[in-house]
Amino acid sequence: MAPLSKGVVKKKRVGVAKKNGLDKKKSVGEKRSKPKALRADEKKKDAYKRKAPDNTWKPPRYEPPLIQENHAHDPWRVLAICMLLNCTTGKQVKGIISNFFDLCPDAQTCIQVSSNVLEEEIRSLGLQHKRTEQLKRFSREYLGENWTHVPQLHGVGRYAADAYAIFCTGMWNDVEPKDHMLTRYWEFLQGTRGN
């Protein structure tokens, strides 16, 4: 192989990402782009509205199941899971989720649990202080009557709002998720028409 000329930097290939069936090589230093924040008009989508009591949507099973599937009956849990998944992996969250929901089975309990106890429970995910503050504030707002759409709640961005639409309201066809795992599930729903 010929030596590189002065000033040329060779990028080391570190992985392959599939997009639209094509392999795209990622290089060192190449960052994943963050999904754009929801625009004001997007935040008011019907898919993100507070779930109606008569909504009986039950998402179909996917293999391997996403963490949210087992908790789709409780919108607070789905949104809390999304907050725990931020800046970490599904494998890490799966390792603590059972104990987390034993400690905080609902929003009211999450508010009442000592911050120190909650931080210790989620320590393995990192950012435990920030996550604890976020979960407690989100839980207080969730229990309030002042919200109509989930993006109004503290800590709920595009990823959590899309997961809510997919797993809780059943309005999966009204969103197009940007997260890779939600996209896989969304494509599965497209193929099965949600059945």
- Can you give the pLDDT of all 195 residues of the chain as single tens digits? 444 444 444 433 344 444 444 444 444 444 455 667 888 888 999 999 999 999 999 999 999 889 999 999 999 999 999 999 999 999 999 999 999 999 999 999 999 999 999 999 999 999 999 999 999 999 999 999 999 999 999 999 999 999 999 999 999 999 999 999 999 999 999 998 766
Q: Is residue 38 part of a domain?
A: no
Q: Is residue 51 part of a domain?
A: no
Predicted confidence at residue 32, as pLDDT, reads 52
Q: Is residue 75 part of a domain?
A: yes
Q: Is residue 150 part of a domain?
A: yes
Predicted confidence at residue 34, as pLDDT, reads 62
- 179 flagged as catalytic: yes
Helices (H), 16-151: 75-85, 90-103, 107-112, 115-122, 128-143
Predicted confidence at residue 9, as pLDDT, reads 41
Predicted confidence at residue 40, as pLDDT, reads 87
Judge residue 116's burial from the number of C-beta atoms within 10 Å of its C-beta, 0-12 exposed, 13-18 middle, 19 or more buried. exposed
Domain of residue 119, CATH code: 1.10.340.30
Predicted confidence at residue 64, as pLDDT, reads 87
Predicted confidence at residue 193, as pLDDT, reads 78
Q: Is residue 109 part of a domain?
A: yes
What confidence tens digit (pLDDT) does each residue in 53-64 have? 999 999 999 998
Q: Is residue 148 part of a domain?
A: yes
| CA–CA distance, 5 with 180 (Å, rounded to integer) | 38
Q: Is residue 52 part of a domain?
A: no
For the chain, what is the domain count?
1
Helices (H), the chain: 75-85, 90-103, 107-112, 115-122, 128-143, 158-164, 180-192
Query: For residue 125, what are the domain limits?
Result: 59-192
CB 66, CB 179: distance < 8 Å = no
Name the token pair of 143: 């229990």
Catalytic residue among 74, 106, 174, 179: 179
Predicted confidence at residue 143, as pLDDT, reads 97
Q: What is the pTM of this model?
A: 0.81
